[in-house]
Amino acid sequence: MKRSIFKNEHEMFRKSFREYLKKEVIPQYEDWEKRGFVTREAWLDAGKHGWLCPTAEEKYGGAEADFLYSVIIMEELNYFALPGVFWAVHSDIVYPYLEKYARENKKKEWLPKCITGEKVLAVAMTEPEVGSDLARLTTRAVRNGDHYIVNGSKTFISNGQLAELCVVAVRTSDTKRPHDGISLFVIESERKGYHRGNNLEKIGLHAQDTSEIFFNDCRVPEENMLGTEGEGFKYLMQSLQQERLVIAIGAYAAARGALDLTMDYIKKRKAFGQTIGQFQNTRFSMAEMATKVQLAQSFLDDLIPRHMAGEDLVKEVSMAKYWITEMQFEVADRCLQFFGGYGYMKEYPISRHFVDARVQRIYGGANEVMKELIARRLRL
């Protein structure tokens, strides 16, 4: 089905990026999974080819492309079961914080290197004791002259091993309304008192580095604050619409990729004298899954242009994040079943689709939280 949201230049970009993945990323991905991270060389090469921060302003070295170019990058990576390449976190979740809220002198220092891949980005919100309940975070920044002294810890930080720049949510004051005392800082990994923990071992996303980060009397200059002191919670909430949309886009594309892989397999694999695809159970299952994938695509193709136009889509994006990630896991599970024992072997990409799908229902706000947000918007 032709997708009306993309123009010819977008499809040319998709073709070019897909060829790049087949040549430069897919052959290395198994090695990255064994290492537990995507190499710095790969990040730099992505920057050289223009795959990082495609929406960045020209004055900082970006292409100033529309968000649909980012959508294409997300879709292609997830379609080919390469979700451990977290370029979207760097480009479409963290980078906008810097471009919107950093001081101009810091933008000139940081942004060009984010675009080239010389600086990898991460965002640190979640804490070991309070999870994602930002109103109760305990990492604290105390003012000391023209600096702040940061103490505390964060966990489950995507890109945490490689990132040189980390957007960190901290408490700068105690208020009656807990989220009023939260601020955001960009903290460089080279600063004294900034310590990375181990690269956390996960059941999936093995190519993606995930870390704990510890701050021990880490001295951070005032100019590294993003926006205004005490406004951090508001900035985080404003950014979550795009973050959850990014997750939904990846979930849709991964489901489409799993379905296409399975479609090819069931047309060739034989059992009891006929191809697996000729059994009624298979045909009906594939019809059901294809319908759900198509519904996800149609929903997203409505939401993406509205998001680009600046609409408030908290309810709709929460619906998309919740339903599409649930659908992704269902499709990966049902598709793997058609591969039989081979589906359980790591050499088959369908197995990666399955294990990598599980976290989608957790990060970016667990799906139970999405349902609560939807219910609130329904005024229940």
pLDDT in tens, 204-252: 999 999 999 999 999 999 999 999 999 999 999 889 999 999 999 999 9
Task: Count the alpha carbons within 13 Å of 104 in the hemisphere toward its beta carbon.
Answer: 1
**Cβ distance 184 to 165 under 8 Å?**
no
Only one residue has tokens 């080919």, namely 80
Clarify whether 243 is annotated catalytic.
yes
Is 2.40.110.10 the CATH number for 121-229? yes
Average pLDDT, the chain: 96
**Cβ distance 205 to 158 under 8 Å?**
no
CA distance 349 to 210: 22
Q: How far is CA 361 from CA 60, 256, 324, in A?
A: 35, 17, 9
Q: Take residue 359 and report the two structure tokens written for it.
A: 């976290």
* pTM across the whole model: 0.95
Strand pairing category for 182-188 and 165-171: antiparallel
Task: Count the alpha carbons within 13 Å of 377 in the hemisphere toward its beta carbon.
Answer: 14
CA distance 194 to 22: 37
Report, as an integer, the average pLDDT of 58-72: 97
The CATH number of the domain covering residues in 8-116: 1.10.540.10
pLDDT tens figures, 150-198 = 999 999 999 999 999 999 999 999 877 777 899 999 999 999 999 999 9
Portions of the chain given CATH number 1.20.140.10? 234-377
Portions of the chain given CATH number 2.40.110.10? 121-229
pLDDT at 131 over 80: no
- Catalytic residue from among 33, 75, 243, 316: 243
Q: Take residue 251 and report the two structure tokens written for it.
A: 């979930």
CATH fold, domain 234-377, is Butyryl-CoA Dehydrogenase, subunit A; domain 3 (1.20.140)
